[in-house]
Structure 1
C-alpha cells in the first residue's frame, strides 16, 4: 500500500518525509527553489516587520503603501516592459486582462491555453502549435475582420515546448492584433531568467501583453501584467483591479530586493539541468534551459517510487488516460540528488 501523498504537512523541498520515509522530490513549480531559499526567507521576514502580514485595502484607497508602485516599476524594468501591474494572484491578473481586452477584437485561443485565460469553458484542443499558427495566420489574413485578440501560453510546460510567435510577422499590417501571453512557467527561467515579453514581435499593429503567476519560479504569491503604459493604465481603471486587495507587501519587498538571489538560483538551476542532461538519454520532450523533462514511459513514476523518488505524474488529458510522467528540477536539488535519479533512469 502506498503512502498518502495528498496530505503532506511540511514545506515542499528536494526531500519530503511521508509516513517516516524520506523521498526525493522532483515535482512542483518552485523551479528556483525560492520557498526554501534562506536568504529570500530573510528578506520576506524583513518585509513582514516593515509592512505587517497583509494589506486588505484596495489599490485605490486614499491611504496607500508606496511599495506597490515601487514593485511594479521594478517588475517593468526587470522584465523589459513599459509598465506593469501587480495583483494578488496569477489567475486574477489573467482574468482581469482577458476580460478587459477581449472586447477589442475577434478572440482566438491557442492550443492548451491555461484555463486562467478563458472567458468561458473552452473545448480541449490538442492541435500542435505549429499547425495552429499556420491556420491562424491564414484565417486572419483572409478575413474581413480587422481586429483580433490572440490568447496563448508562452510555452507548453507539460510536454515542454517554447512557442515562437514570429508567425505574427506574416499577418497583414492592416490587421490590429492584441496578443496576450501567459508566461507563468517561463518567467524567471526562460530568456536568461527574464520573461517572454522581450521575445515577442515588435510591430506597430501588434499590442503585446504578458500575464504571469509570480508564485512559481519567483516564489511570490502574486500576479503580474506587463504591457505598454496605455494598456496598464486601462487595466488599472477596471472594476476588477479597483475592487481587489493587493498581495502582501512583504512578498513584494522580497521580490524587489531579491534580484541577486534570483540570478544565483537561476545559475544553479542551469547547472542542475546540464548535469542531468549529461547523464541520461532523454526519450521524451524537453526544452534547453527549462527544468522539466517529459518521459514517454507511463510506468516510470511507479518504478521510481520503489526507490523513494517522487516525480510529477497524473493522467492527461482525461482522468482515465495513461499518466504523463515528468521530472522537474529545481535550484534546491543537490548534485547527489540528480546523480541518484540519473543512475536509476
Structure 2
C-alpha cells in the first residue's frame, strides 16, 4: 500500500495531537450548540458579533435575489461583477489604498502573493510566529526564507540585505494575540529597500479608527506598506479576503497569481454582504469599546488568579498551559461547565507551548467573562 494513513493517524493520536471536526447545531454567536447542548463560545473569531447581524443577512439575501447563488466562473472569465467592483472600491476608500483584489480565503490570498512575487533571486524575511499560510507559501516559493525571532527587530535588521525581496509579518498574531511593531517594520523596509507585507486578518475591523486595523491603530499610513492582506471572516462576520496595494500590484496579481486566475470567484451575493459588513464596522465604535472592556476585565481577573496569559491586548487571549494533554484536559473541564474553548497544540504552536486560545467578542456579556474566570479558577487548580 503506497500510503500508510492509519499509522500516521495513530501516531498523531498517541502524541495527543489528533484533531477532530466538531459539527455545530447552530450558527456562530455568543452561544453555540453542539450535540444538543448549549455552550458559551470563547473560540470563534467573530470579534464584533457581526456574523448574525440583520444588515448582513438582508444584504446577502438581496444579493441572492439579484445575482444568484454563485459567480459562475473565474474573475478573468465571467466571474467578476458589479458587487465585486463596488466592494473593491469600498475597500480602497475605507483603508486609503490605491487598489484591492478579492480572494476566496485568506490562505489563498497569502499563497497568491508570495508565490507570484518571489523568484529564485529574491529573499524573504518572515516572523517565526507567522501564520501557516504565510510560512507554507514561503517554503513553496523558490526564494530563500530567513526567519527572525518573534517581533525581534534587531535580528531582522541583521538579516536584511538591500533590495532583495519581501519582509512578511502579521499585524495581530493569530495564536498569541500580540501585535507587530509596524512603524519599526516600515522603517526597516524603507532603509533596506525591501517591500513589506502585513497580514491583518485579526486586526481589521477591531483596531484603529473606523476599524481600519493595525496600521491605523499604530499610526502607520497604508501607503507605507506595499502589500496589505485582510480577511472578511473574522471581525466582519462573513468570509473571503483581499490583497491591497498599488494599482500595479493588483494588476500584476490578476495576471500572475494562479490562486486568483484559476479559481471561481466568490459569489456576488457574498460581496454584497461584505459591503454591508464594512459599512456597519466603520460605525461600530460601541462594539469595539465593549470588546476592549471585556479584554480589560478578563486580563485583570486572570492576573488575580495567577493565570499565565500571553502579552496580548487584543481579542485573542492565549492561556499558556504547556503540554498538549494538559491543555486538552483543561478544555474538557471547561466544556463540562458549559464553556466552549479550544486547546491549541503543536504543530500549530511550538512544542511545549500548548494553550487555550480564548477569544473574546463584543457579543459577550460581563457575566460571561465572570463565569469564564470562575470556571478557569476551578479547572486550573483541578489540573
Normalising by the residue count of structure 1, what TM-score does the alignment of the two structures yield?
A: 0.84
Match of 2:113 in 1: 97
Q: Distance in 1 between matches of 2:186 and 2:237?
A: 34
The residue that corresponds to 2:336 in the other structure is 306
- In the alignment, what sits opposite 2:354? 323
In structure 1, the residue corresponding to 2:159 is in which secondary structure? helix
Partner of residue 58, structure 2: 42
Structure 1 residue 328: deviation in Å? 0.9
Counterpart Cα distance in 2 of 1:162 and 1:174: 22
Change (3 A) 1:217 1:58: same
Aligned pair partner of 1:287 in 305, 312, 335: 312
Q: Does 1:340 align with 2:374?
A: no
Q: Who is 1:129 aligned against?
A: 150
Inter-partner Cα distance in structure 2 for 1:203 and 1:326? 29
Structure 2 residue matching 1:157: 3-state secondary structure: coil
Among 232, 243, 261, the alignment partner of 2:262 is 243
In terms of mean alpha carbon deviation, does 314-323 or 20-29 score higher?
Answer: 314-323
- SS of the residue aligned with 1:119? helix
Asked if the contact 2:199–2:230 (Cα under 8 Å) also holds between the matched residues in 1, the reply is yes
Q: Which residue of 2 aligns with 1:146?
A: 163
Most deviating of 23-32 and 308-317: 308-317
In the alignment, the residues of structure 2 paired with residue 63 and residue 310 of structure 1 have an alpha-carbon distance, to the nearest angstrom, of 38
More helix by share: 2
> Runs of 4 or more off by more than 6 Å in structure 1?
122-127
Contact 1:148 1:177 in 2 (8 A): yes
Q: Does 1:78 align with 2:94?
A: yes
Q: Structure 2 vs 1, CA of residues 200 and 225 (structure 1 numbering), >3 Å: closer, same or farther?
A: farther
Q: Structure with the greater relative contact order (CA < 8 A, sep ≥ 6): 1 or 2?
A: 1
Range with greater deviation from structure 2 (328-337 or 266-275): 266-275
What is the distance in 1 between the residues matched to 2:233 and 2:108? Answer: 13
User: How far apart are the structure 2 equivalents of 1:301 and 1:149?
Assistant: 38
- Give the Cα separation in 2 of the matches to 1:8 and 1:307: 18
- Distance in structure 2 (CA, Å) of the matches to 1:196 and 1:13: 24
- Is the aligned partner of 1:221 residue 2:239? yes
1:231 to 2:261 alignment: no
Q: Answer yes or no: is the 8 Å Cα contact 2:83–2:269 preserved in 1.
A: no
SS of the residue 2:208 aligns to: helix
Report the secondary structure of 2:250's partner residue: helix
Q: Report the alpha carbon displacement of residue 238 of structure 1 after superposing the two structures with TM.
A: 2.0
Q: Please say if residues 115 and 140 of structure 2, whose CA atoms lie closer than 8 Å, have aligned partners that are also in contact.
A: no
The 1:126/1:338 distance shift into structure 2, 3 A limit, reads farther
Q: Distance in 2 between matches of 1:190 and 1:5?
A: 31
The CA RMSD over aligned residues, in Å, is 3.2
User: What's the secondary structure of 1:149's corresponding residue?
Assistant: strand
Residue 209 of structure 1 deviates from its aligned partner by 0.4
Matched length: 336
Following TM superposition, by how much is the alpha carbon of 1:218 offset from its aligned partner in structure 2, in angstroms? 1.5
**In the alignment, what sits opposite 2:178?**
161
Contact persistence 1:188–1:218 (CA under 8 A): yes
Report the counterpart of residue 276 of structure 1 in structure 2: 298
Closer, same or farther: CA 318–52 of 1 in aligned 2, 3 Å: closer
Q: For the Cα contact (< 8 Å) 2:309–2:320, is it kept in 1?
A: yes
User: How far 1:64 moved relative to its partner?
Assistant: 4.8
Question: Does structure 2 conserve the Cα–Cα contact (< 8 Å) formed by 1:168 and 1:201?
Answer: no
CA contact (8 A) 1:81 1:197 kept: no
Change in CA separation of 1:5 and 1:178 when aligned onto 2, cut-off 3 Å? closer
Render the CA deviation track for 1:291-320: whole Å, top value 9, x for unaligned: 121223445424322312121212234798
**Counterpart residue number, 2:17:** none
